[in-house]
Each structure stands twice: as structure tokens, then as C-alpha cells.
């Protein structure tokens, strides 16, 4: 078992072990649009605790609930065809793409598959099915019988108090199928009377049909208010831990309300919270409705899943931005933790030890050594577009890289190729010039630039390391009375026709020697 060193997941696990009994970690996601990495953050973080508890041989289960009985409040970008379904339970609206039974099935099936590819395999539940199968009937009955007590708890967190005849049940209108519009006004045992009225939702207005009906809660065609439902699920599943974003944990937030409902109404000791800051994406809030999202599947195309998990396993109380242009920076940090994991240094500080622990917890299988930089893979994937592993393996060996796992290398090469083609910055994207194209660029260089390039030719050999060759480039520039920037410009011009590019030393050494020599001394 890997050493802990005060990692937040280890500390949380210790707290749960003190609580005793079976550990049930619950997470959930509102299926309001395309599930993205923000939606995945709590279940991925929860999985770190599951892994730690499993290390300690504890009885632990990780649950994920699709909150698919929630009303459809806002039309996500690109799904304008669903504008007439505002106010319906999301489980009951059609798949906008026509390939699944409904909206929820389309997105949940993909999300669960993506989680599995990240090594996260919770027990899956549908909120709608929990209601309609009768699984939550006991909790619904308790909530209805103690509606006055619930109203008193909720009113502590409200500016406008609930009415004295408050009923904690929102039916689905049996005539029009909407849930946002059905307003309960009377209860008789298991029967809740309602009227369907037009209601404002965040994305516009859900039109009520005026129907007056009766909802039999035993059929589960409706739902409890969220702050009651959350506590009801804790009671039903005997939840001991719930990861949640800070917006739920703010003063007066839903978590603190649900704690009181859980303890005072359902008689269940509330779960231990694990509170985290949220992510932004490219400097903006992650939002399906705004179209600013990246899914787990999309992430896995441009970067290894373990890197995202590693980022999520860092200190929880710090907001972080995921800038897709700077993926190599994230990977470099991950690689540094990997290096320390495989080659720990004596007297390392606490941050290095926690990073190594995050690295270990982020693995989807056994840790495998790589230590080939993402930026170098980006360069190699463009030099060898077919990703011929024999050629790339030999080139890396000549650059001094040894002992890496070939499977991981191939995966990183594929990711880096996809990243540079779809998300990477223009200055790192290149195409090697033909002899004719390079010759034209060479003719435009100054006499000193050509002289410096010719000097570099004799210094390109398989024995020189990229760091040493980088210094050689600087020394060659100064020895030819050039500013280093002028020589770097010449290098990029004759190789790619651009003024900037990948790190020049690694770039040159990654090329076939005769190719570089032809460009530098045609």
C-alpha cells in the first residue's frame, strides 16, 4: 500500500472509518445537458476515497444517481428543438438526436461509459426509477407525514416562508406531463391534489394546462423538493459520505438544510461532506447552456485520463482553471509527480509527497513509467505522422529516454497528436518543409544566420542531450555575432517556414540527421 502523507482522500477515509460500519459514498448529477468534466468531478473525487477505503479493507460502495426526475428548466445550446419541453421531467423528454429512447438515456449511457474508461465504476441509479419503482415510498410517506416539521426547517433558510399547508411533493401533471407546473394544494393519505399552472423556469416559461388532478405517491409520478429528496436518499441508501461543490455548502445552501432534514425528519446521521472548489474551463464557467464544456470522452482524446484525475485530486479548496491551450503544463506537473513516485527523494517536502499520492490514486491500473514530455510527443507526432513506434522508439533512445512503457507512450503520442491538431496553439503546429520550400526560406536569411546554421550541422549527433544542445545553439549564435533569437528564427524558418515552434534543441534532435543537415547547409 502506498504511503498516505496527509492527502485529503486519506484524511477523509480516516474520518469515515471512525464513523464505522459500511461506507456508502453517494454522488449525483443533474441531467440537464451534456455531462461534462465538471459533472464528473464529484464522482471522480469520490472514487479516490473508495480506493483508499478499499486499500484499508473497509466495506465500501460508491453510488451515482442520475437526477433525471428534475424538471427541464433551460434548453442547452444546440438543442433548440426541445424548447417546447420546458417543465417536463428530463426523463420524459425525447432524445434530440433520435438515437436513444429519451434525453436521459442518450447522455447517461455515454457518461457511465466514459467514467468506466477513467477507472470509475460506481453503482448506477436513476432518480426517476427510484420513485417509480416504489423504492423511495417509505421516505415519501415520512416527508408527507412530517410536512409541517420540514417546512419549519426550510423556513430557516428562506426569506419568504412556506405556507402553513406546505406539501413536500411535486406531482407530474397526468394530462400534459409537466412537473414544473403542477402545484400541490391538498393531501389525503397517499393522494396529493394539484392544479397545473403556468410557471417561470430559468430558460423561459413552462405553460400549465389548467388540469386539476390527483397524484398517488405510491406510483412515484412526481418528486420531493431537492433539499428533502437529498436527505431522503441519504436515509434510503444509508449514505456516510457525500462529495459536493462549494455552492451547495455555502451558508444557507442545500447541504446544510438537508443535514437538518436528514437528522430531524428521517432520523439518519447526515453524511460527512467532502467540499471542493469548482473548475473553470478556458477562464469561464463550465456550462452546457453556454456551450463551454468538454466531456470525459473529449478529454481522453487530447490527454490521458489520469492527468485530469490527478488535477482533481490536488488540494480541494482551491479553484482551478483548465486551459486547453496549456495542456502540456498540466502534464508536466503530472510527470513530475510520477518521477517522484518512482524515484522518491529523501527529505522531500509535504507537497511532493502529496503529489506522489495523487499520482498513485489517479491511476486506472498499475502505475507505469513514461517520463517522455508531452511537448516532445507533440513534436514527434508531427515529424512521424503515422506514429511509427519503431522509428519513434529509436529516436527517443537516441535522445536518452529509457525504460518507458510502450503502451503509455503510444497513448500519449495519440493524445498529443489530437491535441495539437484540435486544441493546441498555432506556434506549436507545423509541417516540415520540402527541399524546395526550405531552400527558398534559406535564401532569405542573412549571411550570419546561414553561417550559424552551418556551424550547427557539425554539432548534431546522437550523443548530445537536448539540454546540452540548447546551450550549443546559444553559444553558436553568440560566436557568430548573432542574437540567439535570430538563430532560433532561422532554424524555424528553414524547417517549418514559421517564426516560432517547438523547443528547438529537442526538435532538431528529433529529426533525421540528414534532413536537418540538408536544411542547415543546402
Predicted TM-score (pTM) of this structure: 0.92
Strand partners, 321: 280
Whole-angstrom Cα distance, residue 522 to residue 437?
12
CA distances from residue 330 to 45, 306, 321, 336, 489 in whole angstroms, order as listed: 18, 11, 11, 10, 27
Using pLDDT thresholds of 50, 70 and 90, give the confidence band for residue 32: confident
Identify the CA nearest to 263 among candidates 297, 224, 235. Answer: 235
Give all domains of the chain, ordered by start, each with its CATH number: 8-137+226-280 (3.40.50.620), 169-223 (no CATH), 374-428 (no CATH), 435-520 (1.10.10.350)
CA distances from residue 409 to 370, 388, 441 in whole angstroms, order as listed: 7, 12, 34
Report which secondary-structure segment, H or E, holds 441: helix 435-443
pLDDT in tens, 205-262: 999 999 999 999 999 999 999 999 999 999 999 999 999 998 887 877 899 999 999 9
Are 337 and 351 a contacting pair, CB within 8 Å?
no
Burial of 129 (0-12, 13-18, 19+ CB in 10 A): middle
The yes-or-no verdict on residue 141 having pLDDT over 80 is yes
- Over residues 471-491, the mean pLDDT reads 95
The yes-or-no verdict on residue 117 having pLDDT over 60 is yes
Are 350 and 385 a contacting pair, CB within 8 Å?
no
Q: What's the pLDDT score for residue 226?
A: 96
Using pLDDT thresholds of 50, 70 and 90, give the confidence band for residue 463: confident
Whole-angstrom Cα distance, residue 521 to residue 330?
38
The yes-or-no verdict on residue 1 having pLDDT over 60 is no
Q: What is the mean pLDDT of the chain?
A: 94
pLDDT in tens, 286-305: 887 777 889 999 999 999 99
Q: What's the pLDDT score for residue 519?
A: 94
Quick count: other Cβ atoms within 10 Å of Cβ 467?
11
pLDDT in tens, 396-448: 998 889 999 999 999 999 999 999 999 999 989 999 999 999 999 999 999 99
Burial of 320 (0-12, 13-18, 19+ CB in 10 A): middle
Q: What's the pLDDT score for residue 138?
A: 98
Identify the CA nearest to 215 among candidates 172, 178, 185, 175. Answer: 172
**22-26, 262-266, 395-399, 420-424: the lowest-pLDDT one:** 395-399
Q: Phi-psi category of 186—alpha, beta or left, where left has phi over 0 and alpha has psi -120 to 50?
A: beta
Strand pairing of 222-223 and 212-216? unpaired
Q: What's the pLDDT score for residue 3?
A: 62
Q: b/e per residue, 242-258, with b = 16+ CB within 10 A?
A: bbbbeebeeeebbbbbb
Are 262 and 270 a contacting pair, CB within 8 Å?
yes
Q: What percentage of the chain has pLDDT greater than the value 90?
A: 83
Most distant CA atoms of the chain, gap in Å: 95
- Over residues 318-339, the mean pLDDT reads 95
Q: What percentage of the chain has pLDDT greater than the value 70?
A: 99
Amino acid at each position: 500500500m502506498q504511503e498516505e502523507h496527509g492527502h485529503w482522500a486519506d484524511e477523509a477515509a480516516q474520518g469515515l472509518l471512525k464513523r464505522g460500519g459500511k461506507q456508502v459514498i453517494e454522488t449525483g448529477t443533474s441531467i440537464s445537458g451534456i455531462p461534462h468534466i465538471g459533472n464528473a468531478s464529484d464522482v471522480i473525487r469520490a472514487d479516490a476515497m473508495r480506493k483508499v477505503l478499499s486499500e484499508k479493507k473497509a466495506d465500501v460502495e460508491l453510488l451515482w444517481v442520475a437526477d433525471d426526475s428534475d424538471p427541464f428548466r433551460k434548453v442547452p445550446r444546440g438543442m433548440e428543438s426541445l424548447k417546447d419541453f420546458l417543465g417536463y421531467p428530463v426523463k420524459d423528454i425525447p432524445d434530440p438526436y433520435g438515437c436513444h429512447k429519451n434525453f436521459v438515456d442518450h447522455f447517461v449511457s455515454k457518461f457511465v461509459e466514459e467514467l468506466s474508461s477513467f477507472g470509475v465504476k460506481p453503482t448506477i441509479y436513476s432518480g426517476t426509477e427510484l420513485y417509480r419503482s416504489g423504492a423511495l415510498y417509505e421516505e415519501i410517506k415520512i416527508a408527507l407525514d412530517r410536512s409541517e416539521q420540514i417546512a419549519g426547517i426550510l423556513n430557516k433558510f428562506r426569506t419568504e416562508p412556506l405556507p402553513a399547508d406546505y406539501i413536500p411533493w411535486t406531482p407530474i401533471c397526468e394530462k400534459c406531463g409537466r412537473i414544473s407546473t403542477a402545484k400541490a394544494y391538498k393531501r389525503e393519505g397517499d393522494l396529493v391534489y394539484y392544479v397545473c399552472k403556468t410557471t417561470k423556469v430559468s430558460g423561459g416559461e413552462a405553460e400549465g394546462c389548467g388540469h386539476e388532478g390527483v397524484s398517488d405517491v405510491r406510483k412515484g409520478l412526481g418528486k420531493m423538493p431537492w433539499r428533502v429528496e437529498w436527505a431522503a436518499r441519504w436515509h434510503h441508501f444509508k449514505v456516510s459520505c457525500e462529495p459536493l461543490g462549494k455552492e451547495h455548502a455555502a451558508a444557507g445552501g442545500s447541504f446544510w438544510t438537508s443535514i437538518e432534514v436528514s437528522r430531524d425528519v428521517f432520523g439518519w446521521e447526515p453524511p460527512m461532506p467532502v467540499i471542493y472548489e469548482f473548475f473553470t474551463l478556458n477562464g469561464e464557467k463550465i456550462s452546457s447552456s453556454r456551450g463551454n464544456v468538454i466531456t470525459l470522452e473529449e478529454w481522453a482524446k487530447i490527454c490521458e485520463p489520469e492527468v485530469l484525475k490527478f488535477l482533481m485530486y490536488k488540494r480541494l479548496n482551491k479553484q482551478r482553471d483548465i486551459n486547453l491551450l496549456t495542456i502540456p503544463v498540466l502534464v508536466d506537473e503530472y510527470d513530475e509527480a510520477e518521477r517522484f513516485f518512482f524515484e522518491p527523494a529523501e527529505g522531500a517536502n509535504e507537497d511532493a509527497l502529496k503529489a506522489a499520492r495523487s499520482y498513485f490514486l489517479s491511476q486506472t491500473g498499475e502505475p507505469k513509467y513514461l517520463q517522455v514530455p508531452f511537448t516532445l510527443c507533440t513534436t514527434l507526432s508531427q515529424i512521424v505522422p503515422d506514429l511509427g513506434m519503431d522509428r519513434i522508439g529509436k529516436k527517443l533512445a537516441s535522445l536518452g529516454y529509457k525504460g518507458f512503457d510502450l503502451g503509455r507512450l503510444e497513448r500519449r503520442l495519440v493524445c498529443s497528436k489530437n491535441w495539437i491538431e484540435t486544441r493546441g496553439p498555432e506556434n506549436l503546429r507545423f509541417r516540415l518543409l520540402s527541399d524546395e520550400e526550405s531552400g527558398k526560406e534559406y535564401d532569405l536569411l542573412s549571411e550570419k544566420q546561414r553561417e550559424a546554421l552551418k556551424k550547427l550541422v557539425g554539432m548534431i549527433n546522437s550523443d548530445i542531450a537536448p539540454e546540452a544542445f540548447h546551450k550549443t545553439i546559444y553559444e553558436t549564435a553568440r560566436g557568430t555575432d548573432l542574437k540567439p533569437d535570430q538563430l532560433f528564427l532561422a532554424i524555424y524558418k528553414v524547417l517549418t517556414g514559421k517564426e516560432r515552434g517547438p523547443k528547438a534543441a529537442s526538435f532538431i534532435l528529433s529529426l533525421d540527421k540528414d534532413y536537418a543537415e540538408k536544411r542547415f547547409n543546402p
